[in-house]
Structure 1
Amino acid sequence: MRIFFFILSILLLVEGVSGDEKVKVTVSGMKGDSVTLKPGDAEIQTGDWILWKFNNIIIFKMEKTNKVYTSDADIAEKFKGRMQLDKTGSLTITNISTTDSGPYQLQIRKSTGVIPMEYNVSVKGKNTVSVMAGESIILYTDLKEIQGNDLILWKFEDHLIAGINKSGDQFFSHDTSDERFKGRLQLDRHSGALTIRGSRSTDSGVYHLNMSSSSHSLQRSISVTVSVFDADVVKTVTVMEGDSVTLNPDLTQIQGINLILWRFGASGSVIAETNGTEISYPHLTEIFGGRLQLNHQTGSLTINNMRTKHTGLYQLKIDHNTGISSMAFIVTVSAITVSIDWKMIAFALSLVLNLVLVLIAVIVRIKKGYISRPSNRTPW
C-alpha cells in the first residue's frame, strides 16, 4: 500500500510540472499605454531560468542574474528602448502600439519543473476624448469585471480623484482641492470606468489611469478636450435628483420677442418653443415626460422632478426685434446616495435578539416554577 501511494505521488508531481496546464492572461491596452506583464504567483528564486517570447520569438532570457536580449534584428528594432526586464521576471513595455498586439509567452524553469504562462495582448486606438460642454465624459478601463486583487486609481493631473481597491472592498471618489468635480464623479464598481457628468471647460486636461493585478499592471494617460458652446452667456447649474430647476434667461432687457427655442444635448433637439402666444414641447418627450414648463413671457424653462438623465447642455435661442441672442446652461443632476451603516444594523438586530432570548428564558423558568409568582394575599 505504501508503494502504491509513493508511485501515485510521483505521478502527481510529474503531472504538475509537465507544463501542459498553461496559465493564460488577457491584457487590453490603448496606444501610448505602458504595460507590465508579471509572473503572477510564481516566485522567482536565485538560479531560476526565465524566457520571454513574442509570437514564439525570443525577446528576453535570464539565467541566474545574467540577462540576454534578443538576437532577432527585427524584434530588437521593434522594441528598441521600450522594453525592460526586472529581477522579479516582470516584462515592461512602454508606449505600446497596435503592432505590439499578440501573444507573449513566459517560461520559468525551476528545480521542480517548468511554469508556462501566456499573455494575449491587444492594443486599440489613441487615448483622446472630445465632448461638448454639458455632455458626460466617460473614461474606460477596458475591463469587463474587476477581479479580487485589482487596484485602480484615477488621477487628474497630479490629483487623485477616484479609485478601487477590490481586495480591501474599497471604492472612493472625492474632489480635488478646488472642488472642481464636486458631485459630478461616478465610478463603475464592475469595470472601474470613470464618468464625469455635466462637463465643463475646466475639465479639459490629462487624466491618468493606473491599474494593477497579480498578472499585469497598466499605466494610461487620456487627453480630454471639452469644447464650449458658442453662446453669449454660459451658466452652470447643479441640483440634486428629485429637485426642480428653473433656467431663467432674464429677458427684461430684450424687447419684441418673436421666437424662443430651448434645445437639449449635443444633438440640439428642440424640447420647448414659443412664439409668444403658443407653447409646444416637440421632441424628447420620452426623456422629459411632462416635466417641462415654459413661460412664454419670461422665456424661463422649468424642469420638474429631475433625474440624472437630464444632466447636459441646454441651449436657448431668442429671436427678437433687434437680432438674435443665445444662452447656454450646463446642468448637472447629482444622484441621491443613501449611506447604510450595516454594522449598526447588525448590532441593533443582535440586541433585539438577545432581549427576545432573555424574555423567552424568563417565561420558561416561570412556567417551570423556578421563579415564584408574586402572592396576591393581603398581609395582616
Structure 2
Amino acid sequence: MEGDSITLNSGRTQLMGDDEIVWMFGIENALIAEINVTADIFTLYDDVLDGRFRDRLELDKQTGSLTITNIRTEHTGVYKLQINSARKSFNLTINVKSVSVKEGDSVTLNSGRTEMKDDLILWTFLSENTLIAEINKSADSMSVFEDVLDGRVRDRLKLDNQTGSLTITDIRPEHAGYYKLQINCVKESFILIVSNEISVMEGDSVTLNSGLTEIMDDDLILWLFLSENTLIAEINKSADSMSVFEDVLDGRVRDRLKLDNQTGSLTITDIRPEHAGYYKLQINCVKESFILIVSTRLPVPVISSNSTNCSSSSSSSYCSLVCSVVNVGHVTLSWYKGNSLLSSISVSDLSISLSLPLEVEYQDKNTYSCVLSNPISNQTTHLDISKLCHTCSDSVHCCGSTEAVIRLVLSALVGVATVILLVYDIRSRRAQQDQAHIHTPEA
C-alpha cells in the first residue's frame, strides 16, 4: 500500500567474503544500490531518477536485502538483484490511496502539506492524463482548468491556497478514477470511488449501470458484492467470456442476475432484503460502487383512541390518540396537521413495532393524518375525530368502560328503589282506605 515500507529479500542469511551485489530499477536498469564485501563498500544511489528514491533506501549489511520506505506510485516497477553471476527480479505493484464518496457529496484529496514554500503543485486526472489544477508558488499563481474533460469538472474544483489540497464538489460517477498529485518531483496517486445510493422496493428489479455504452475489445469487467467481497459476475471481452456466479453467497442471488453483453450493466431481479449492501464495479483499473437499499412493503398505520387518558377543562375536552404499525423496516412514522409536520419517529429495525401519540381537542376542525414512509413509498391513514374522540361527559366513549358500568348499575338501582317505594305507597293508601271503610257506622 502507498506509504508503507517493503523489503526485497536477497535470499542470503549472511554475505560471503567475495560477494558483489547490485540492485537496479526499471527499464533504465538504473543502479540504486551496490555492495562490494571485499572492498567493504555499501553504497546507495538515491539521487538517480529525479531523486524519487531519496531518503527511502536502506541496505542490510548482513544479508544484502534492500528496503524501500514510504512507498509511492513512482516506485512501481521491476527491481533486479545480481549477486555475483546469479540474478533475481521483483515486480513491485503499489496500491494507491482509495477514497470513497457518495454521489452528490464533496471530497478533499489531501496534499499532505500544512503549508507551501516555493512549490510547484500539479493535479492530473489520470484516466485522460489531463491537468486539472496547478499551483506555482514561486510565480504566485493558482489555476483550475475546469473546461477540460468535456467540462465534467466545471464549477466543482477548489484549491486550498495554503496546503495545495484539491476539493471536488457535487461528485458524479464520471468523476471516479485516478487522480495524480505531483509536488515538485514527488508524485502521489488517489483512486476516487463514487458510491451511488439506489433505493428499490422489495420484489422489484434494479439495474446497476456500468456507465458504458459499449464494451471495448480489451475490457475486463468485474461485479463484486462488497459485504463479503465476493465476485458475482465477470465479463472478459478479450477472452469472449461472460459469467454470473449465482451459487455464491449461500445462493441468495441464484436466478436473479442478468448481465448486459453490450454495456456490462448488472440487473438484479426479485429483490429481497438480503440483497441490500455495497456492490463494486471494476472496469479494468477504474472502480465504482453502489449502495443498494431495499425497502419492504409498508403496512397501513392504524389510529386508535386512548380513552383512559381523556382530559377536560371548563371550556373544552381533549382526546388522546395513538398511531401504530407493526413489523416495519427502515421507516419514519409521522403525524401531520394538514400539510404541517407535528411529530415523527424513525427506526431501522426490520421487526420493531412503532407507536406515536397525539392529543387533539374534541371540537378541532383541522384535518389530521398519520403517515408511514420510507425513501420510495408511503402509507397514509386519515383521522376521523368524530368517530374516535368524544367528550368526557360521554360515559361510554370518554370516561371509561368501568365507570360507565357503575353509573348504569347505580341508575338501575335508583329506578328499582323508586318503583318499590311507589308500590309501597300505593299499597299503604289502599290499606288505610279499607280500614276506614270497616269502622264507618251503618245508616
TM-score (structure 1 length as normaliser): 0.35
Q: Which has the larger radius of gyration?
A: 2
Higher RCO (CA 8 Å, separation ≥ 6 residues)? 1
TM-score (structure 2 length as normaliser): 0.31
